[in-house]
Structure 1
Amino acid sequence: MSKLNLDCLALIFNELKDKKSLHSCLLVNKEWCNLVVPILWKSFLCYEENEENKSIYYNTILSLLSSSSKQLLINNNIKLPLPNLLDSPLFNYISFCKFPNSDIVNGVINMVLKNHNNHDKKYLLEQEIYKLFITQCKNIKELYWKTTQQLSLFPGASTCFSNLIKLNINLDYINSNSLEEMAKYCKNLNELSIHNPKDSPGLISLIDSQKNLKEIFLYSVKYKERTYEKLSDSLSRKSNSLIKLELSNIIIIPLSFLTSLVNLTTIFIFFNEVNEHDDDIKKIKEFQKYLAMSEFPNLQILSIYWLLCFKELANLIEKTNENLLYLDIYNTPRNATNTGMLISSIANNCPNIKTLRTYIEPKDFIHIKSLLLNCKNLKEVKFDSLYAFINLNDNILGDELLDILIKFSPKSLNIITISAIWKYSIDGFENFFENYRDCTLRQFNLCKNYDYDITEDHKAIINKYVDEGVIRSSVCTFY
């Protein structure tokens, strides 16, 4: 039998998702073993769930610690599993690995120290594990930095981290000096995630040193009173390269930098629910002001969570040069207004939009017609109600929306989610689904459902059309 080319084998092995099959390949011959071992070790740190297998991997990591590290640990009464001090591994497995996150390192520590609360021992073992990876891992592309260990100051750090393209840091753990050192040789990041940002010189240096930073993510666990003008300024200086921005609970930063980021194609903004009497509502209103002032002509994806900003979004969408493809507005406060203004702005300025999820009121149904007629590429819509209960005086308003969807929906639209609170007649339901017999609905969903809105007859109709294949799937949760 002719022998398979090793390059072909490598491609095949990389496509295999079944670890059992890969383990079987190890036993075929030495060449196969040499190809499979790096593949297994490249992924085990992320995907291994079996506790027994984890222990094997963790023990192997400990066995690869340098002699000086092992002796240091022994001198500090940290007892390593005996086999790791006797056996010599066949491969330098660490060189195949991705750089471990803190969960993996903590897993090794807990296996050795059995969850003992000796901080000094934990810190020392953690230090030696990170030193091992930093000296052995080359060309690391991603780093999740959530430890007080000053990784950037360890021997070999400049080689290990100089080619990073994705860095995730938590500033509750990392000091400014460590970031300052990282900035000296980490200059090619495409993506930077910052948890609990601070106006530290090291962070500013790290951002400023990047040559082509494309994506920035800022997350804060809770609102803080301090503001960070230097961080805001540093983000403004990256306006030429930044194309993606994600903000979560970030009202601690002067948000004037938004108006500078004219090349953004993707924006995600998330706020936790805030009390209207909370002082932070003023900062959120300031954010909405800057949002309305900003221009993002290349914007394609926009997701907003918990903001009263339909008017500002309508103004923003008018300046997107018809590039918007995805708009998702989620968990909006119930006292929001101008929902119809937003629908109208989308209809007039977003002919290429594919996904729209937003809130409307029955009075906005009139705008849905022009939306469906002008946006011929729509694939998914979600129209939710702003209110949990509406006094409809027993009027059935939902049939009006169903009728508009039947008459004016583009052929591409096959995922539809609507609020159950607007009430639908049985005949209206039947007529709506019959219209889709020749073009199957991929999904039909109901949101904010209440028993008095959707009867058992409505549920039976949905189930009937699912069974008949008119609706491929349906998610209808009834409270």
Structure 2
Amino acid sequence: MPHQLSTDCLDEILEHLENDKTILHSCLLVNRLWCKISVRILWRNIWRFKYIVYREQHPLEVASSILSTLVACLPNESKELLYKNKIFIPTPTSKPPLFNYVTFCKVLSICEIIKLVENVLRNEPSNINSSLSLKDKNSLVTNEVFKMFTNQIPSLKKLTYDYNQFIPKFSFTYFPGARDLLELRCSSDIPAEFFYQLSQICNNLQIIFIEFRSDDVSNELKELISLQNNLKSLTLIASVSSWANFIPALTKLSNTINTITKLHLYGNNYNLPLSFVSLFTNLEEIIFSFDYGADFGDFKILQFANFPNLQILKFPQRYPKPEYLMKFLEINGKNLKTFYTYGSDNSLSSSIADFCPNLKNLFIGINHGEINTLKTIFNSCQYLESIKIWCGKSYSGEERTYLSEKEVFETVTNHSPSNFCELKIYYISNSDFVSPEDLESFFINWKNRVPKKLLRLIINKNNNIEVNEENKKIAEKYENLGIIKFSIEAFYDEDIFYLL
């Protein structure tokens, strides 16, 4: 008899494939046990796979597939209600579903349900005979689907609720699965009743994202935050307003101040208050992501704050005045493992070598003619494993010329520390990639370097950068020799772009 993996062992193995939908789909065909475990993982967050397929240019196909499966899982009374109103959404088969897929869901996006229904019904010709308007049909289907989720999800882990006037009324009072909620992403303009209901059943949120769309913040939202016992990550997003009216309530909560270890601030307006950040002394990670209309006036005060546990500090777009940031690094740089700043300043780059000796990951821009700064960083930061660096020219804001790829290659080969293993080159404007001769010379020199270590070379580019076929063949040659791992990625940074 062939040996079979135990259910627990198989479950743990397939969990590691959570982000690979192709392999998980193939696991569906092995046998019933494999199918059940794979389906549970795939349906944990169906919205994530929806976006993957959207990027593959098949939005309607995947929306129809998800909604048809959900309709197949609806209770009989809901199906009869749709039939009575001449709303026909084809199901995968005429037989009952093999699994109750809804019970596997751990992530619920209220707005995604609305979009899903709207996209399908707008393009479903079989519903033209219904006496209901398209808006009413959307509302009816959305209500029944959402009611099924609230009744059948046994344990909800993540909820996204971005306010929309067409969202149907619902109550969390009768949603027992929300008691296990760990992550909430919402906008501040959600009806206060929602925050009140959620606060009555949920006090163990660990991650909260709030997008502020007006200066008014409901007391119910403040109360919900105050009742959380283990909040670890807080993201505040100022889109057209400020979080100023929210800060006083937040900073009065000693339990919240003591438990939060990650604070991410995004904004696109002026004069956002920042000095309150100094009260969160247990922070391990801070991201300040502000666009080019914002400023860092409050950082003049924050530069003197002390965060003894801080390991990750990122400024994906703008950064404060170099003298303020240098003082901040002088106080807090010793324990930093990751430092990320968009743009370049020679004095700031030099201070990294002075104040951040334990860095493992670094993203900076170094201007043309300042190659010695990069050498100094390598010589001082002996734990550095990865560096992301601008090359070529940038025309955003002001024209700036960074180091050339050839300079970076030579410096990486001769001066990077022994554990260094990843070089990521960023481009943002027109530029020609390094010549094939210089690229191959770099690979040869890396091959002969002691100690030997596989190098990940990643080219992060916009659509105007071309890596010619000869360079790709050279990279493939040294990949096959086990010298490097080469990849080309579109220009994108998750710290700049956020998604509710």
TM-score normalised by L of structure 1: 0.75
Whether the aligned pair in 2 keeps the contact of 1:143 and 1:166 (CA below 8 Å) is: yes
Q: 2:148 matched to which residue of 1? A: 132
Distance in 2 separating the partners of 1:474 and 1:90 = 40
Whether the aligned pair in 2 keeps the contact of 1:140 and 1:163 (CA below 8 Å) is: yes
Q: 2:277 matched to which residue of 1? A: 258
Q: 1:215 matched to which residue of 2? A: 233
Whether the aligned pair in 2 keeps the contact of 1:351 and 1:375 (CA below 8 Å) is: yes
Which residue, out of 179, 182, 188, partners 1:165?
182
1:145 equivalent to 2:151? Answer: no
Distance in 2 separating the partners of 1:60 and 1:210 = 35
C-alpha displacement of 1:223 = 3.8
Q: 1:246 matched to which residue of 2? A: 264
Whether the aligned pair in 2 keeps the contact of 1:73 and 1:125 (CA below 8 Å) is: yes
* Alpha-carbon displacement from aligned partner over 1:256-295 (angstroms, at most 9, x marks no partner): 3111111111112212223xxxxxx5xx132432442332
Number of residues of Structure 1 aligned to a counterpart in Structure 2: 445
Q: 2:339 matched to which residue of 1? A: 327
Whether the aligned pair in 1 keeps the contact of 2:267 and 2:291 (CA below 8 Å) is: yes
Q: Pairwise mapping of residues 96-107 of structure 1 onto structure 2 (< 5 A)?
A: 96-101=104-109, 102-107=111-116
Distance in 2 separating the partners of 1:416 and 1:315 = 28
Q: 2:120 matched to which residue of 1? A: 111
Which residue, out of 407, 411, 414, partners 2:418?
411
Which residue, out of 34, 46, 49, partners 1:47?
49
Distance in 1 separating the partners of 2:220 and 2:341 = 35
C-alpha displacement of 1:42 = 3.8
* Alpha-carbon displacement from aligned partner over 1:52-80 (angstroms, at most 9, x marks no partner): 676455334224434554455556x3524
Whether the aligned pair in 2 keeps the contact of 1:351 and 1:374 (CA below 8 Å) is: yes
SS at match of 1:23: coil
Comparing 428-437 with 16-25, greater Cα deviation is found at 428-437
Percent identity, please. 26
Q: Which amino acid aligns with 1:160?
A: G
Instruction: Quickly say closer, same or farther: Cα 1:303–1:152, change in 2 above 3 A.
Output: farther
C-alpha displacement of 1:104 = 4.5
Q: 1:278 matched to which residue of 2? A: none
Q: CA RMSD in A?
A: 4.6
Which residue, out of 330, 345, 356, partners 2:351?
345
Whether the aligned pair in 1 keeps the contact of 2:333 and 2:355 (CA below 8 Å) is: yes
Q: Pairwise mapping of residues 59-138 of structure 1 onto structure 2 (< 5 A)?
A: 59-70=68-79, 72-73=81-82, 77=85, 79-81=87-89, 88-89=96-97, 91-101=99-109, 102-112=111-121, 114=123, 118-138=134-154
Whether the aligned pair in 2 keeps the contact of 1:232 and 1:256 (CA below 8 Å) is: no
Distance in 2 separating the partners of 1:253 and 1:448 = 31
Q: Which amino acid aligns with 1:18?
A: L
C-alpha displacement of 1:128 = 2.0
Distance in 2 separating the partners of 1:476 and 1:62 = 38
Q: 2:306 matched to which residue of 1? A: 295
1:377 equivalent to 2:383? Answer: yes
Distance in 1 separating the partners of 2:197 and 2:318 = 38
Q: Pairwise mapping of residues 179-190 of structure 1 onto structure 2 (< 5 A)?
A: 179-190=195-206
Whether the aligned pair in 2 keeps the contact of 1:218 and 1:250 (CA below 8 Å) is: no
Which residue, out of 440, 447, 456, partners 1:437?
447
Instruction: Quickly say closer, same or farther: Cα 1:350–1:466, change in 2 above 3 A.
Output: farther
Whether the aligned pair in 2 keeps the contact of 1:99 and 1:137 (CA below 8 Å) is: no
Distance in 2 separating the partners of 1:363 and 1:182 = 57
* Higher gyration radius (CA): 1
Q: 1:307 matched to which residue of 2? A: 318
C-alpha displacement of 1:300 = 1.0
